């Protein structure tokens, strides 16, 4: 199970963030507990790479 390098949490979340002053959006994978960014992807990247990271991080959503 991957762990956050900062707080050792094993829960992560995905958010979509804008880069200031541009139309570029990134999908950001960050720690659920402390918001440390683990990885991010250009929004135009193909979904295969994203799904791969998604699987590796075993992202959980708050229910
Ligand atoms: Zn953390």
What residues does each domain of the chain span?
Answer: 12-57
Q: Is the pLDDT of residue 24 over 80?
A: no
4: CA distance to ligand 1 center in Å?
Answer: 5
User: What whole-number distance in Å separates Cα of residue 52 and Cα of residue 48?
Assistant: 6
38: CA distance to ligand 1 center in Å?
Answer: 9
48: CA distance to ligand 1 center in Å?
Answer: 25
Write the pLDDT tens digit of every residue in 27-63.
Answer: 888 999 999 988 887 766 555 556 666 667 766 555 5
Q: Model-level pTM?
A: 0.57
User: What whole-number distance in Å separates Cα of residue 45 and Cα of residue 29?
Assistant: 14
Query: Token pair 């002053």 is at which residue?
Result: 21
28: CA distance to ligand 1 center in Å?
Answer: 14
């Amino acid at each position: 199970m991957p762990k956050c390098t900062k707080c050792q949490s094993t829960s992560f979340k995905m958010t979509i963030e804008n880069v200031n002053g541009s139309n570029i959006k990134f999908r950001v994978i960050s720690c659920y507990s402390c918001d440390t960014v683990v990885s991010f992807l250009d929004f135009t990247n193909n979904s295969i790479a994203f799904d791969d990271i998604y699987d590796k991080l075993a992202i959980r959503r708050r229910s």
